[in-house]
Structure 1
Amino acid sequence: MRILLLGMGSRGDVQPLVALGQRLRRIGYAVSLAAPADLGHVVAGAGLDFQPLSFDLERPLREGLGRDSLRGSARTQVREARLMRQVMAGTAEALAADVARLVDAADAVVSGALTFDLVDALLAPGGSSGRGRPSKPHLYAVFAPVWPSAHGPSVALALRPRATSWANGAWSTLAGRVALDLFRPAGDLVRARGGLPRRRFRHYTAAAEGTPTLLAASTSVVPPAADWPPALRQTGYWFRDDAPTPMDSRVEAFLAAGEPPVFVGFGSMPTPDPAGVSRDVADVLGRLGVRGVVSEGLAGLRAAPSPGLLGVGPAPHEALFPRCAVVVHHGGAGTTAAAVRAGVPQVVVPHAADQPYWGRRLADLGVAPQPIARKDVTADRLAQALEVALSPGARRAAYALGERVRAEDGAGDAARLVDAHLRRSA
């Protein structure tokens, strides 16, 4: 049986699926993993059949609407949401064609948030209602707790994040409506071509609640909520269990030359003033007397040549983070998981979406200071946050949390759940 894993999104949406795919292969499944063409390096060497989507991820993030929506040029979240929808609409034709071809060749599909509605449309049974069982097994994989819930610590978007309140359920339901509007263009295209009606939100939620769903997050970080739907099964984080990708010799030499450094990187999140942030980082690290590794990625950060500061390109988090003193990052689900597993304290600078949630959870668990919103980052705030993260208390809490997470087998548990569902379906 051939399983298609759809990794539409950033590296944090693709890397966990690589781990799941490897475990499914060991059980005996043939596995294809589809992702934006420029993320092929994340899949390389994993033994999976990589199916590149016919567009890149980084180019639209660097240019035009993607740059405007993610760099914060928009003044409000509503404006940012509209810009992001335009970005998604721009890839709808290519995404629909690619996924239709891949789904047709697969026996079962595991999709993420950005492709759930598209796959639901492609697998809709005949008839104008679009109701009934999908034409082949479909599972849903999520890397953040996006289900509406009254329990604040268990939902990514909550009005009262540390309380149980009806307002959290209402607000997170509204967030679901917005998310559907952002990511539905490709699904709408498929439905229009197939003569199926456009999904209303209640039909979308019914489909989501009836689809077996895997939440790839540790219960030590995301507490389970009593009001989650029965179809939702939580595993630990999904990590590869093979040898980490070797690091560049330059990075190895820097790490060996002194004390563990502070890592600073914002993943695929561009920042409005990269030069200013780079200067602040260098100033703060010098003030605190610690070394630093700066990820010069889409954020546009640059590390000035210095004995105590190293600029790097893409680096394997699983190899680098355990050798760092603190990880300063944007709060993406994948980066958060890697830093938690490494057992090191963190400083979170949320940019968008579920990132503020991860920042709050890490602060509540004692492994990080309170998150600093992207617009509020200053040298003084960053210095204060790093002082907290470098404290013995944060180090002890991070080490203990890392031990609990490393003891889990999230990818293995998820593969067993997929296998059990497919056997029942057969």
Structure 2
Amino acid sequence: MRILLLGMGSRGDVQPLVALGQRLRRMGYAVSLAAPADLGHVVAGSGVDFEPLSFDLEGPLREGLGRDSLRGSARTQVREARLMREVMAGTAEALADDVGRLVESADAVVSGALTFDLVDALLAPAHRGGRPTKPHLYAVFAPVWPSAHGDSVALALRPRATSWVNHAWSSLAGRVALDLFRPAGDLVRERRGLPRQRFRRYTAAAERTPTLLAASPGVVPPAADWPPALRQTGYWVRDDPGSVASLDPELEAFLAAGDPPVFVGFGSMPTPDPAGVTRDVLAVLDGLGVRGVVSEGLAGLTADTTDRVLGIGPAPHDVLFPRCSVVVHHGGAGTTAAAVRAGVPQVVVPHAADQPYWGRRMADLGVAPPPVARKDLTAARLQRALEVALSPGARATAYALGERVRAEDGAGDAARLVDAYLTGTAPGPGRRRPS
């Protein structure tokens, strides 16, 4: 049986699927992973077949609508949402054609947040009320279901309380998400002569689709009001990162030359003033007397190399973070997971979407100070946050949390759940024998 994994999105949306794909291969499945063409290096060497989509990701993010959309997150989320929908609309035809071709040749599909509605349209039965034409599972890396429990839902108005307000607000967020991600699914339904998806049917489809949440229960507490089809695992991490990923020799030499540095990088999040952010970061590191590694990323944080600071390009987080003293990052799900597993304190500077949630969770767990929103980031706020993160208490708490999370086998648990679903042995809701 061939399983198609859909990794539409940034590196953080692709890398966990590589780990799942490896585990499924060991169980005897043929596995292919589709992702933007320029993320093939994330899949390389894993043994999982790579199916490049017919467009790149990082190029559009560095310029044009993608850049403007993500930079908008530092100003207003309304503008961010509007521009992100334009980005999704611009890729809708290519995405629908690529995924349609790949789904046709697969026996089962694992979709993500950006492709769930598209796959639901492609696998929709000819008559209402029928089953999808092929097994379909949903994989997500943040708790996106409506919930009253503020610490268990990515978007909550009362994040540290249990309230109907949280459920209502996160339900509204679901409507916004469908509007953002629906263009490719709408196109497929139009081609097939199907009606446009309504939100009620969208939520019903999501609730009955077997769903895997790839986030440690030690970080995301399970919620009593999650749908029965949801199964939570630990993080999905390759168990062979050291064998396929190594650090650049210059970075390796810098790490060996002194105390563990502070890592600063915002991943795929651009910033309107990279020179100003870099200047503030370097001033704070110098004032605290600590060494630093500054990652360029899409923010363009370019730092001149000195004996105290090293500017770097992409580097494997699973290998680098355990050798750092603190990780300053944007709060993406994948980067947060890597920092948690590394057992080091964090400073979270959220830009958009679910990133404020991860910043709050890190603070609530005692491994980070309260998050500092990108629009509020100043040298003074960064220094105060780093002083907290560098404290002995934060280090001890982060180390203990990392030990607990590393003991989990999230990718293995997820692969066993996928196998149980496909073989008809999964208990409870979501069980289905393939035809």
> TM-score when scaled to structure 1?
0.99
Structure 2 counterpart of 1:201: 199
CA distance in 2, matches of 1:233, 1:151: 17
Q: Which amino acid aligns with 1:198?
A: R
Structure 1 counterpart of 2:429: none
CA contact under 8 A between 1:267 and 1:297: conserved in structure 2? yes
For 1:219, what is the secondary structure of its paired residue?
coil
Q: Which amino acid aligns with 2:313?
A: G
For 2:306, what is the secondary structure of its paired residue?
coil
Structure 2 counterpart of 1:279: 279
Across the two proteins, how many residue pairs are aligned to each other? 424
CA contact under 8 A between 1:331 and 1:349: conserved in structure 2? yes
CA distance in 2, matches of 1:73, 1:158: 18
Q: Which amino acid aligns with 1:62?
A: R
Cα-to-partner distance string for 1:196-224 (whole Å, 9 max, x where unaligned): 00110000000000000000000000000
CA distance in 2, matches of 1:263, 1:329: 8
Does 2:164 correspond to 1:152? no
Structure 2 counterpart of 1:294: 294
Structure 2 counterpart of 1:210: 208
CA distance in 2, matches of 1:277, 1:204: 41
CA distance in 2, matches of 1:85, 1:30: 34
Structure 2 counterpart of 1:354: 354
**Displacement of 1:243:** 3.8
CA distance in 2, matches of 1:15, 1:205: 27
Structure 2 counterpart of 1:105: 105
Cα-to-partner distance string for 1:337-385 (whole Å, 9 max, x where unaligned): 0000000000000000000000000000000000000000000100000
> TM-score when scaled to structure 2?
0.97
Which deviates further from its counterpart, 64-73 or 279-288? 64-73
CA distance in 2, matches of 1:162, 1:48: 40
Does 2:128 correspond to 1:135? no
Q: How does 1:23-38 map to 2 (within 5 A)?
A: 23-38=23-38
Structure 2 counterpart of 1:264: 264
For 1:414, what is the secondary structure of its paired residue?
helix
Distance 1:162 1:50, change over 3 A: same
For 2:398, what is the secondary structure of its paired residue?
helix
CA distance in 2, matches of 1:79, 1:358: 22
Structure 2 counterpart of 1:117: 117
CA distance in 2, matches of 1:215, 1:75: 30
Q: How does 1:23-422 map to 2 (within 5 A)?
A: 23-72=23-72, 75-127=75-127, 129=128, 131-244=129-242, 245-422=245-422
Gaps of 5+ in 1: none
For 2:154, what is the secondary structure of its paired residue?
coil
**Displacement of 1:305:** 2.6
Q: Which amino acid aligns with 1:48?
A: V
CA distance in 2, matches of 1:361, 1:31: 33
Cα-to-partner distance string for 1:308-337 (whole Å, 9 max, x where unaligned): 100111100010000000000000000000
CA distance in 1, matches of 2:260, 2:185: 47
Find runs of 4+ consecutive structure 1 residues off by over 3 angstroms. none
CA distance in 1, matches of 2:228, 2:333: 23
**Displacement of 1:76:** 2.5
Q: Which amino acid aligns with 1:210?
A: R
Q: Which amino acid aligns with 1:69?
A: S
For 1:239, what is the secondary structure of its paired residue?
coil
Which deviates further from its counterpart, 73-82 or 316-325? 73-82
CA contact under 8 A between 2:152 and 2:220: conserved in structure 1? yes
CA distance in 2, matches of 1:282, 1:406: 32
CA distance in 1, matches of 2:95, 2:113: 14
CA contact under 8 A between 1:73 and 1:272: conserved in structure 2? no
For 2:423, what is the secondary structure of its paired residue?
helix
For 1:328, what is the secondary structure of its paired residue?
strand
Identity level (%): 84
CA contact under 8 A between 1:366 and 1:397: conserved in structure 2? yes
**Displacement of 1:74:** 7.6
CA contact under 8 A between 1:340 and 1:398: conserved in structure 2? yes
Cα-to-partner distance string for 1:213-242 (whole Å, 9 max, x where unaligned): 000000000000000000000000000001
**Displacement of 1:73:** 7.5
CA distance in 2, matches of 1:275, 1:321: 24
Distance 1:305 1:242, change over 3 A: closer
Gaps of 5+ in 2: 425-432
Q: Which amino acid aligns with 1:135?
A: T
CA distance in 1, matches of 2:406, 2:60: 35
CA contact under 8 A between 1:68 and 1:74: conserved in structure 2? no
CA distance in 2, matches of 1:74, 1:193: 37
CA distance in 2, matches of 1:397, 1:312: 28
CA contact under 8 A between 1:160 and 1:168: conserved in structure 2? yes
CA contact under 8 A between 2:73 and 2:79: conserved in structure 1? no
For 1:271, what is the secondary structure of its paired residue?
coil
